[in-house]
Structure 1
Amino acid sequence: MGYRRNIKESTRRMLYARSGNMCAMYGCNNVLINENTSNISEICHIEAVNDDGARYNDNLTDEEVNSYDNLVLLCPRCHAIVDNKANESIYTVEYLKEMKRIHEQQIYDALMAQTVISPPVHVETYNVDRIVTYFNNVYEKNIDASYVHKIIKQIYSLNIAIRSVVYGITVQCANNMSEYIDVQRLHASVNLDIYQYAEIFMLLAKEKVVEETRYDGPMAGYEDEYGDFHFVQNDYLFRTTQGTWRLRKRGKVFVVIYRLLSGADDFYDFVINNNLDVLMKI
């Protein structure tokens, strides 16, 4: 039989208020309500209303099924992926609740961050000519001083957890003399849970520091042991743990800076502590 679909208006308002007007799926940037007032949002039940739905639990009440804790706001495409029973082993109740929690925390943190005025970063006063020369001698794509200044400002605008991952990526790639990232080994060395780790890789991909190349297309996915195919382009948790990651042009700038400094300690001071004076050692 299933349950009655009866979501309270107050619950709906809370969902929209905490969503930041964004789909909650990892890696999805879809805006739910556009300026022209078109609304593409869909309320997804984490544990299904209908007994043939994904993650159905017959031990709940109508009130529990329609409660805030059992709902997440998604775009139509992500809703279809999540509610496809073929994907049920990936999009578990625990997975979706943690995904929702992280999304709402990020929206809250972004809102709080808007009230903080960061001191300006005057990186333009530092000479980065050796960085430019080294990069242009090693890599095919040429850069100039203004590009290096922009990348440094970019990394300094990110929080310390993200900069810690950038530090780990850079040291690993520089020491291995490779542009490819061992994401599983890196995760073991950082003090982050897998959900935070995946969110950071999603952000670094958006910032063009790294990229995932194995599951990058809209039809990318894998076939499970039962012959069911799972699409994973927007599933950054799966792509972070199972995908193939490498540095992009911006990420390679940090490898050059690391190599030109005297060691990992100086690079740590530069990236983690935002100490621009370290550049004077180059």
Structure 2
Amino acid sequence: MSNVKRISPSAATLRELYILSGNRCAFPDCNHEIIDENGVLVAELCHIEAALPGGERFNSQMTNEERAQASNLIFMCHKHHKITDNVNEFDVARLKTIKQDHENLFRNIMDDMVKSIADHTKRQILNKSKTFQSMNKVLGWDLIDEDLKETVDLCNNEFEILKQLDKDTRIVFSSIIERSERKMRRIVLLSLIQKSLRLNHVEIRDYLDILIRYKLISEPYHDEDYRGYISEIIEPEGWDMWGEIKQFCETKSIPLDDIIVELDFEILD
């Protein structure tokens, strides 16, 4: 047992744990929230097998990384965190059962939601771009047809991703592009999106999770220049594609939603 240290769970691990918590303490029949209506964490992240020696149910055979994985973590209210410190009554097996029973409920609900969304998105029609002739002219690219075809193929691959999203998520992404700005990279202040779309903390978190999952935006991070959290818009092959589509729409006075939300990329032709 050498060099035992506490490792903070990754953002992806915390996101998984929160989603599967259903925003409720995992202890049976407890309805205490994990995050309240103001976006404040009002519960505790608990280790099934302790992070450090001397802690409850510490397992010297685990690695530091294993102790910080989702399988060893569980959200509980303060009261039940203290109650489960009784290792005689709450051993590893019992806590894992509590975690599994609680998360299975919300995992099944999520599976049903995913199936419902999948069925819905399959019915969506994507009008792909074919030539980009209008973009070529409006933005002054002066590309020959052969080069344009490569650009069209690259963009259509990105447009296919949007077809996999539900319409509400595309509305959020369109708002992100519309309110983004480019300095060294294209970024957006996330509080601006939340306020402009009147989303609560849980709603904005869920939408961002989806957009991160589909590699459309980066994980949020704090930026002192903006006094808040920002995300970067992912650029395919280092090209500011969404920024150029935004510029095209502004120049032509076309609502960006007509392209991103309605999936009508033929407008770019």
Q: How many residues align?
A: 181
The percent of aligned pairs where both chains have the same amino acid is 8
Give CA-to-partner distance per residue, 1:164-184, whole Å, 9 cap, x none. Answer: 111111111148896221111
Structure 1 match to 2:233: 247
Alpha-carbon distance, 1:201 to partner: 0.7
RMSD: 4.8
The reply on whether 1:159 has 2:163 as its aligned counterpart is: no
Match of 2:26 in 1: 44
Tell me, yes or no, if structure 1 residue 200 matches structure 2 residue 207.
Answer: yes
Which of 228, 234, 246 is matched with 1:258 structurally? 246
Q: Which one has the largest radius of gyration? A: 2
Which of the numbers 80, 84, 92 marks the counterpart of 2:73?
A: 80
Alpha-carbon displacement from aligned partner over 1:115-169 (angstroms, at most 9, x marks no partner): 4542553515x213676896999xxxxx732110111121133111111111111
Question: Would you say the 8 A contact 1:174–1:259 is kept in 2?
Answer: no
In the other structure, the counterpart of 1:188 is 195
> What is the alpha-carbon distance in structure 1 between the residues aligned to residue 213 and residue 264 of structure 2?
25
1:108 maps to 2:112:
yes
Say which SS state the counterpart of residue 180 (structure 1) adopts.
strand
**What SS is found at the alignment partner of 1:149?**
helix
**TM-aligned CA distance change 1:121 to 1:185, over 3 Å:** closer
Q: Which residue of 2 aligns with 1:95?
A: none
CA contact (8 A) 1:212 1:243 kept: no
* 1:274 counterpart SS class: coil
Taking a change above 3 Å as real, the CA distance of residues 147 and 83 of structure 1, as seen in their structure-2 partners, is same
Whole-angstrom distance in 1 between the partners of 2:163 and 2:136? 19
CA distance in 2, matches of 1:264, 1:80: 50
Provide the C-alpha distance between the structure 1 equivalents of 2:247 and 2:131, rounded to a whole number of angstroms. Answer: 16
Structure 1 residue 214 displacement after superposition? 3.5
* Structure-2 change in CA distance of 1:166 and 1:198 (3 Å): same
* Deviations 1:55-108, CA, capped at 9 Å, x for gaps: 9xxxxxxxxxxxxxxxxxxx98335263596xx8xxxxxxxxxx9998765432
Distance (whole Å) between structure 2 residues aligned to residue 190 and residue 246 of structure 1: 19
Q: TM-score, normalised by structure 1?
A: 0.49
Shift of 1:109: 2.4
